[in-house]
Chain A
């Protein structure tokens, strides 16, 4: 069986930041593996440990810098990686449809039985690529999966989908399928020193639109970000001033006043 895991390098904003045009200034951004993808990687690697002959391949749309993040996935047990990027991709404002086309082209080459993605990326939070990709490939799918068991013959995934309010939906999904993975599905491992060393020799295949049989139209998008701003604070919060002791004293007063802490 082959498992494809999509891995995104996401940007996180520093506590204090400034907006520069349509994005947060580069100097205020830090890059990391998307939290949800970490759980997807773990799920793929665990399946490869549980079953014989499972290859886990990661797919990333991202610039060279993202290889740092990809190495983390390789160090955790992903066998090899594909990274999609070129000048046209770099210049595009990638919407869900464009990402779907790029990842569908990778999937067409790799021919996986199972694709694991994070539920969402915590930078843009679109929460759409996995399910859109499933539709594009004609695969089955399940979104927001917090429990996964594979049938012995690897034909069906038994999943829980985590609904709102502490209720899980219990569902069977035929393979080939895309599952979008929710945090808490497993405990993502830390990369071992051995894993980190091994990751250095694993392949990261860089691919441009040409290599995937696509042209610039594949990344054209009718969607455009037109502004970014810090939301006007609706807060009328009263801030406690002073050092920690002074803040704590004022906080204690409020708790006593509200009657939730006994005299």
Chain B
């Protein structure tokens, strides 16, 4: 085993995703602590072009695997197993993205590596010590991993992307991949349902979460939105329940929004929700739970019951 780190880049439909540059920072941090090199793998698609863009400060080698056009977990699984066997790194680092969720646990299992997901920070001092959240982000924990090598996935947005150009060696990596034998086949992509309102353009979003409890209570926030000239958006459970169309959902799997004001009502502030709205200029949260994670990113907080606060607010503008 070497002291090196093998990190995995991510791309979709021809573009590298932001997390690719974050895994470089996280990987460099880990490689420095281990005293090794940072190796980056980029698999499928236009890998030569990707490798050039991934050649950033701190990367020692970019390994390119040119099979396939897009993400396929059988391909990633096979390529990473082979590359890991070849490099014998001390750590395998992957993004905790939707595609990460689809290959990282399988690779860790196949390689028999201890696995920690969704790290928001880590340290290495003879063993990995990773920081993660639990109980819907209400607490943080540290997790110690006694064995090296190990596999860890990182949460997007927690490490600053590496911007400076680097001097990495770019090395094509060949391995046997039989695409016809793969038991899953990606057929294409589909955009989630459209609609007439584009919440990503709105200056003022009134956003409602599960705190609203019942569909018929939505009238209350609709009234608030109307009287204040705001656009109505929501967290995921509202859309899952079919109370609002998908194009109103803010978050990782919904829309990214950057309004002047985001008024989050009865929304806890789960990481996947925050991913979509943390770019708002001013965030105001109304929540009964003073420990709700949404208050950590709010500029203004109202600890209170929305069924009292929203009618009172409507009153203010009537």
> What's the Cα separation between A98 and B237 when bound, in Å?
31
Is A205 in the interface zone, CB < 8 Å from B?
no
Q: Mark A233-258, 1 if CB is under 8 A from B, else 0.
A: 11111111001110111011011001
Which 7 residue pairs spanning A and B have beta carbons closest together?
A248-B312, A140-B183, A244-B308, A260-B204, A252-B316, A128-B105, A143-B102
Which A-chain residue is minimally distant from B316 (CB atoms)?
A252
Is B8 in the interface zone, CB < 8 Å from A?
no
Which B-chain residue is minimally distant from A234 (CB atoms)?
B296
Which of B34-42, B45-53, B158-166, B239-247 interfaces with chain A? Answer: B239-247
Q: Are A225 and B141 in contact (CB under 8 A)?
A: yes
Given contacts A226-B144, A239-B301, A260-B204, contact A127 B187 (CB under 8 A): no
Interfacial chain B residues near A260, Cβ < 8 Å: 203-204, 228-230, 259-261
Which of B142, B145, B203, B240 is most buried by chain A, counting CB atoms within 10 A of its CB? B240
Residues of A within 8 A of B (CB): 11-13, 15-17, 19, 22, 24, 95-97, 100, 119, 122-132, 134-136, 140-144, 160-174, 177, 180, 182-184, 187, 221-231, 233-240, 243-245, 247-249, 251-252, 254-255, 258-262
Which A-chain residue is minimally distant from B188 (CB atoms)?
A170
A138 to chain B, nearest CB (A): 10
Interfacial chain A residues near B289, Cβ < 8 Å: 15
Which residue of B115, B204, B254 is within 8 Å of A128 (Cβ)?
B115
> What's the Cα separation between A92 and B241 when bound, in Å?
37
Residues of B within 8 A of A (CB): 12, 71, 73, 77, 96-99, 101-110, 112, 114-118, 129, 132-147, 183-192, 203-204, 228-230, 236-237, 239-242, 246-247, 249, 252-256, 259-261, 263, 282, 284-285, 288-291, 295-305, 308-309, 311-313, 315-317
If A126-B117, A251-B302 are given as contacts, then 14 extra A-B residue pairs at C-beta distance below 8 Å, sorted by A number, are A22-B141, A127-B117, A131-B102, A135-B109, A163-B12, A167-B189, A170-B188, A171-B185, A222-B146, A228-B141, A231-B140, A239-B302, A244-B309, A261-B230
Main secondary structure of the interface of B (DSSP, over half): mixed
Interfacial chain B residues near A12, Cβ < 8 Å: 135-136
Interfacial chain B residues near A13, Cβ < 8 Å: 135-136, 138-139
Ordered by A's residue number, 26 sampled pairs between the chains whose C-beta atoms are within 8 Å are A15-B291, A16-B291, A97-B115, A100-B109, A125-B133, A127-B118, A132-B108, A140-B183, A144-B101, A163-B98, A167-B192, A168-B192, A170-B188, A170-B189, A174-B184, A184-B236, A187-B242, A224-B146, A225-B142, A225-B143, A227-B141, A228-B140, A228-B141, A237-B299, A237-B301, A245-B315
Q: Are A131 and B106 in contact (CB under 8 A)?
A: yes
> What's the Cα separation between A68 and B109 when bound, in Å?
31
Which residue of B97, B105, B228 is within 8 Å of A129 (Cβ)?
B105
A91 to chain B, nearest CB (A): 17
Which B-chain residue is minimally distant from A171 (CB atoms)?
B186
Q: Are A238 and B135 in contact (CB under 8 A)?
A: no
Interfacial chain B residues near A230, Cβ < 8 Å: 138-140, 291
B147 to chain A, nearest CB (A): 4
Q: Are A244 and B304 in contact (CB under 8 A)?
A: yes
> What's the Cα separation between A119 and B100 when bound, in Å?
12
> What's the Cα separation between A214 and B242 when bound, in Å?
44
A161 to chain B, nearest CB (A): 7
Interfacial chain B residues near A222, Cβ < 8 Å: 114, 145-147
Which B-chain residue is minimally distant from A182 (CB atoms)?
B253
Q: Are A183 and B236 in contact (CB under 8 A)?
A: yes
Q: Are B303 and A252 in contact (CB under 8 A)?
A: no
